[in-house]
Structure 1
Amino acid sequence: MSTDERRMAVLSAIVEDYVSTSEPVGSKALLERHQLNVSAATVRNDMAALEDEGLIAAPHTSAGRIPTDAGYRLFVDRLQAIRPMSKGERSAITRYLEGADDLDEVLERTVRLLATLTRQVAVVQYPSLTRSTVRHIELVPMSPDRLMAVVITGAGQVEQRVVPTATDYTTGTGAEALARARARINAATTDRRLADALSALSTLHAEDADTEDSLTAGILAALEDALAEERQAKVTLAGTANLARAQGDFPLTLGPVLDALEQHVVLLQLLSVEAGQDEGVAVRIGTENPVSGLQSTSLITSGYAAGDEHVGNVGIVGPTRMDYPAAMAQVRAVATYLSRIMGH
């Protein structure tokens, strides 16, 4: 075993013991609990080297050592594989999640399950619905100079706009012109995704002299608002009480952590982390988090899909002292089953 491999084994042992006991780890305890097959002097030298590298540190009140954020990061990066869940655990996840009737209940069950499995705070991002399509666009005359444009999306969302017009669509001739415009507009947008429908309607706006500019502009505005609303994703979370169980892991108070978790904009910012490509799991540790209130926590996330399309992320927030291999496996497993349900 090389010196680097041996020191990595010592670091891994320190991480495992500290996560298990929440007590700083000394060289004597390492030798008693782990088959390191080296002398006490070698372990002390390795611990000194790890401390010099900033991977472990000594709390003021103890002769033992605890992992630093950098130590946890190296430990996570060196994991050879994410520990798989048992067949029974996987079956339980499937049964629990598939018992839900609608999207809200699926996501509520997802966070409750993940919070229970990991004993951390679980959070899930609602799926991005920018894949919604235009179902129909209706144009309804209200007066000689006003018209109501109604955009109905495939997700059932309705956007309405009152559009001023230069043409009186309440007359017989106007009604015929409106029918032609309605047909052209729906031909360009129906069953297209909102963003694609916007593009198609912009092209129609430029090329079709018969469709009144103000009419097309009003529908474009309604489509843009529908798209903006669907991009305003939301989150749901569970297991906040789990933080109290780990209160000793937070240096001062839980207040900043709880404040950050209450802000859904913050959670969305955190969940926007791209999942790692190798195992589909991303880990942010301590000060790697951009939110000051959460720099005493770690965030583990994984993406979930609907069909072939990534539509959201699911993850956990907890103290940096956590069982990373197990938590990563649990987050990945729940995300995988959520993808299966979303793809039905």
Structure 2
Amino acid sequence: MPEGHSVHRIARQFDRNFVGKTLSASSPQGRFAEGAAVLDGRTAVSVQAVGKQMFLETEGDLWLRVHLGLYGAWDFAGEILVDPTIASANGRMGQTNQRGTDLDEAILDDAGENSLASIGAPRRTRVHVRMSEQTKGLHDEGMEWPPPVVGQVRLRLLTDITAADLRGPTACVLQTPEEMLATVAKLGPDPLVGDPAENEERFVRAVAKKQTAIALLLMDQSVVSGIGNVYRAEMLFRQRLNPHTPGRDVREETVRALWRDWVRLLAIGVETGQMMTMDDLSAEEYRAAMASRDDRHWVYHRAGLPCRVCGTEIALEEIGARKLYWCPRCQA
């Protein structure tokens, strides 16, 4: 499932390429035909991400809410204006938080996480993207416009130069402003939304009153927004915290450390497009990690392999119908 960093990157993509423009909306698949007809011809006003959900505001006090879920993805085509605050495998990686490493050339990710062309469930994208800092004529290079529909597209949004195709979302619905605010109110704090200090306090209060295992709480979107299976496993390891510890039994200083780590990791994820959770890497190690998920994490997807710290075999179990990876010794 796409985690919070991906959804924030999608929102930034929409902000630069769709906000302020008139939308042409359709549902090639037909499952969102009525909603697309309502959206068609409206101007995109604003966009925001909260956790794993994106909200696109259009004129007339109408919001489009999209939750990608396990299988959803946005595919982009046409002229893509690049957000200079985020990096891409299709362009310069830019400054990172790993010892100030500065990588000048593209690093291609084998897991499909880092792409301007497709953000969401990993897939081999066939759409054509041309990055640009200023618009150019699409037909100068003979690009077919609009691009052909590929697969089951729930919603297609078009401007005069950019296309966004939504496939396989868990939710794609229209909301009034009141409905949108009610949805957001049910979500836990997101480090990139709202007051930072209050966000931390909300998280601390929510964890302190729960008997539920901390591994489950980190995945509960009403407790904290945006954390998924990868970040959950990595954050628990980084704090050397037993995933089965009840929330109310976790020391407050550790709960605060979890939150502050999430603030940091989310920022890295939004910048790079990767769920980078290892620290103090050399430039060579960082390059390898950005290119391959296997070199990017402490415990995630490493069941049966030795812990990178103590050598104990990484355990795998199911909790809350999701896979949990952890070190039985470091996190005893």
- Give TM-score, length-normalised by structure 2: 0.21
| Higher helix proportion | 1
**Normalization by structure 1: what TM-score?**
0.20
Rg bigger for which structure? 1
